[in-house]
Each structure stands twice: as C-alpha cells, then as structure tokens.
Amino acid sequence: MAKLSYNIIYKALKQSQYMRTEHIAIWVKDIELMKDFYCKYFNAKPNDKYINPIKGFSSYFLSFESGARLEIMHSKNMNNLNLDNKERFGLIHLAISVGSKEKVDQLTKQLRNDGFKITGEPRITGDGYYESCVLDPEQNLIEITI
C-alpha cells in the first residue's frame, strides 16, 4: 500500500513540474504596430501571422527567450469590444523581466526617448521588486522588471 501511495504522489509531483502559463492573449487595434513594439523592445520572436478571412481574425504568437508567449489578436469587429483599460477586471498589466537593474533603467530611458509614456519610474517597490512601468502603443500597462 505504501508503495502504491508513493507512486501516485511521485506521478502527481512529476506532472505538476510541467504546469506553467502557456501564453497570455490580448486584443489589439493595430496588430503590426504591437508586434513591432514587443519585438523591438523586448526581443520577442513572432510566428507567421495567422489569418482567418472568414471570421476577419488575425493573430501572432510572440515568443520570449524564457519560453513565455504573448498572443496578440485582432478582429475586424474590434469596435464592438470595450477596450478601456482604466476600470476593467481581468488582466491589468504584463510584467517582462529584462535580467538586471541596469537593463530596466536602460530600456525605460530608451522607451521614454522613443516617445512612450512612462507611468512608473524605475524604483524598488514596497514588496521588494525593482521595476518601471510603461504604456505600450495601445495603452496596455507593462512592468519592466529584473
């Protein structure tokens, strides 16, 4: 009986090691602008664009070095979606790690110089993270972290 219990626990633990967030998806108004932003500033690698002409839908999966992926999606029916990010429930920001305090500072400066709105200067947060915050071209909040 003990061996059976051990095997069950071992298999459950082994399976849980593989549980991870596969990707996050967001609606975008200008899919090419958004693809270019994440590729330029966060070194994302896009897949080939998926297009469904019948539904008027297109998307890219943007892959990051860590294995995380962001799906950006566009629909010809975008005007029917409420995209106001100020008072909504659900996804409120995307945090992207750049590896060091210096890279947080450098990327924040580059984004500011390129005309993007910095909503939080580089700082150590109350819970001990070093980060800055920027709005992407469609006003999604991005935390740039170590």
Supply the pTM of this predicted model. 0.77
Domains present along the chain, CATH in parentheses: 21-76 (3.10.180.10), 92-146 (3.10.180.10)
User: What pLDDT score was predicted for residue 12?
Assistant: 60
Residues 142 and 94 sit within 8 Å (Cβ to Cβ): yes
Task: Supply the pLDDT for residue 85.
Answer: 52
Q: How much is the pLDDT for 77?
A: 82
Strand ranges inside the chain, DSSP E: 24-27, 45-46, 50-52, 57-63, 69-75, 93-97, 118-124, 130-135, 141-145
| d(C-alpha 96, C-alpha 64), whole Å | 9
pLDDT score recorded for residue 18: 64
Query: Which amino acid is located at 68 in the chain?
Result: A
Q: Which residues of the chain have pLDDT under 50?
A: 1, 87
Q: What pLDDT is attached to residue 87?
A: 47
